[in-house]
Amino acid sequence: MALLEATHLWHHYSPGEWALEDISFELEAGELIGLLGPSGCGKTTLLRLIAGFERPVQGSISLGGQLISSPQRCLPPERRGVGMVFQDYALFPHLDAWQNASFGCRTAADQRRAEWLLVQLGINELKRRYPHELSGGQRQRLALVRALAPGPQLLLLDEPFSNLDVEVRLRLRSELRQVLAECGVSAVMVTHDPQEALAVCDRVAVMKDGGWHQYASPRQLVAEPATAFVARFVLQGNVLPLSCIQALADGGAAFGVAGAPATPDCDVLLRQDCLAVQLDANGSAKLVGREFLGDEWLYQFELQGELLRLKVPLEQELELGSFCRISLQPGAKALLFPPAVAAPALGRS
CA separation (Å) from 99 to 105, 113, 142, 145? 10, 14, 10, 11
Residue type for position 11 = H
| Domain end point (choices 207, 229, 251) | 229
% of the chain residues with pLDDT over 90: 64
CATH of the domain at 323: 2.40.50.140
**pLDDT single digits (tens) 39-71:** 999 999 999 999 999 999 999 999 999 999 999
**pTM of full prediction above 0.85:** yes
- Asked if 181 and 303 sit in the same domain, the reply is no
Task: Tell me the per-residue pLDDT of 5-36, one tens digit each, with 9 for 90 and over.
Answer: 999 999 999 888 899 999 999 999 999 999 99
Check residue 256 and give its pLDDT: 56
Count up the domains in the chain and report the number.
2
User: In this structure, is residue 142 part of a structural domain?
Assistant: no
For residue 254, the model assigns a pLDDT of 44
Is residue 343 pLDDT above 80, yes or no? no
pLDDT over 70 percentage in the chain: 92
C-alpha pair distances (Å), 314 with each of 15, 83, 289, 292? 53, 47, 15, 9
Which domain, by its residues, includes 17?
4-81+152-229
d(CA 203, CA 163): 23
What pLDDT shows up at residue 268? Answer: 84
Predicted local distance difference test score (pLDDT) of residue 332: 72
- Report d(CA 23, CA 41) in Å as an integer: 12
- Average of per-residue pLDDT across 182-197: 94
When pLDDT is cut at 50, 70 and 90, the band that residue 349 belongs to is very low
Work out the pLDDT band at 163, boundaries 50, 70, 90: confident
Q: How confident is the model at residue 240 (pLDDT cuts 50, 70, 90)?
A: confident
CB-CB contact of 9 with 61 (8 Å): yes
Are residues 246 and 325 located together in one domain of the fold?
A: yes
Could you tell me the CATH number of the domain that includes residue 185?
3.40.50.300
Q: Let me know whether 212 and 259 are in one domain.
A: no
Average pLDDT of the segment spanning 304-320 = 89
How high is the pLDDT of residue 282?
Answer: 87
Q: Could you tell me if 50 and 176 lie in one domain?
A: yes
What pLDDT, on the 0 to 100 scale, is given for residue 263? 67
Q: Is residue 41 part of a domain?
A: yes
